[in-house]
Chains A and B, each alone.
Chain A
């Protein structure tokens, strides 16, 4: 837990175990990149991802205004599942088609 803001820190996750080389030169770029990729993956499900820029969390929202705060990738998928009526799946042909067309669902 952060001693200043009392935010619960996410558990250690293997995805955070690789020090991205770009982070040394441009701090924040790996985080920006992850947010961008999450946005591309969740857009076909009608969800958006935004990064408040501080703390370990991001915000997942649907088009009706519902949103959830998620810290760490496992929490992102759990929040997205609650907000999306469709199951989010890396093998979903609709998702793969959207990614192939540059994110257009």
Chain B
């Protein structure tokens, strides 16, 4: 999970929002408690969502006696989606009234059954909230013991993993190092664009950078596409020449308009002609505002797609056909 310092520079004065997701019992609250303890005075505001009617974790996550905003009895991605928007608005109101300190960051701990995509959509598209909040990261916990089984058996666990910018393997002290190595490798295969960190009792043990796109590794280190069960494929689109932003944006917007539910994740760095490097990040049909990068970035475009029931080769052909329009 990002540290308090990582969370600080929310873009354009808006408050950064970190989604902390992960399947039931995967250690989200334990991790968040440790993070809040470490953050001290810089602790973010917390919104806690639980599927059950009876909330217990809000007591555990109290900061200076203030309990987090609790949304119980449903998931913030569906039945409690309006409540989530109201909770975020409520934080703004409390700041305005002076009844709560201004927090530069908000952590939303989702229920174990929530799909991060619709929650990201709420933050990015609500007519009021989008001017005050910006989605910073999607962090997803994976239980070292049972996580892989959950991902294979439950679609929502797979959707959580594919939406992740940071995957946090929890309870690593309960399994052997070989098991952890295999698990990390498998998680990288499933979501090559995510950083995978290993934790035990909320303490960070190791971190591995993304295996593609975000790290700018050469394509040889990334399989062209790997087929997974249930029709999910990973594809990396690479161009060495700077691309035309208008052609690319027309292509991606039509792809998401027509096949948004089948595009589970898109993430990467584009080399835009006349502009330079631009980071692009999308969860399902929600694409965040692209970010101009100023630091050193390897030349060329590397874009990772995780799709369901889409022929990766056809997608690649379509991408290049649009970029070739004169």
Contacts and interface: CB of A to CB of B under 8 A. Distances in A.
Do A and B actually bind?
A: yes
A76 to B, nearest CB: 8
A100 B317 CA distance: 10
A77 B257 contact: yes
Given A73-B253, A96-B321, A14 B247 contact: no
A99 B11 CA distance: 38
Majority SS at the chain A contact face: helix
A90 B258 contact: yes
A20 B246 contact: yes
Contacts of A74: 253, 257
A34 B321 CA distance: 15
A74 B74 CA distance: 31
Interface string A6-17: 000001111101
A90 B254 contact: yes
B205 to A, nearest CB: 36
A9 B247 CA distance: 23
Interface in B220-273: 244-247, 249-255, 257-259, 272-273
Contact of A96 (B246, B257, B318): B318
B272 A14 contact: no
Contacts of B287: 14
A21 B275 contact: yes
Given A12-B289, A17-B290, A74-B253, A91 B314 contact: yes
A24 to B, nearest CB: 8
B310 A91 contact: yes
A25 to B, nearest CB: 9
B274 interface: yes
Interface in A84-105: 87-91, 93, 96, 99-100, 102
B289 A41 contact: no
A89 B262 CA distance: 13
B42 to A, nearest CB: 29
A87 B257 CA distance: 11
A60 interface: no
Interface residues of A, number: 33
A69 interface: no
B325 interface: yes
Given A18-B278, A20-B274, A90 B251 contact: yes
Nearest to B254: A90
B257 A91 contact: no
Contact of B322 (A17, A18, A99): A99
A18 B311 contact: no
Nearest to B251: A90
Contacts of A30: 245-246
B130 A12 contact: yes
B315 interface: yes
B225 to A, nearest CB: 15
**In this complex, which of B292, B314, B315, B325 has the most chain A Cβ atoms within 10 angstroms of its Cβ?**
B325
Interface in B106-162: 125, 130
A15 B253 contact: yes
B56 interface: no
Given A14-B288, A30-B245, 19 more contacts: A14-B289, A18-B275, A19-B275, A19-B292, A20-B272, A21-B275, A33-B247, A37-B325, A40-B325, A41-B325, A73-B250, A73-B257, A89-B254, A89-B259, A91-B259, A91-B311, A91-B314, A96-B321, A99-B321
7 contacts: A18-B245, A36-B325, A41-B250, A73-B257, A77-B253, A89-B254, A91-B318
Interface of B: 125, 130, 244-247, 249-255, 257-259, 272-275, 278, 282, 287-290, 292, 310-311, 314-315, 317-318, 321-322, 324-326
CB-based closest 10 A-B pairs: A21-B274, A15-B249, A17-B289, A73-B253, A77-B257, A14-B287, A33-B246, A34-B246, A99-B321, A90-B255
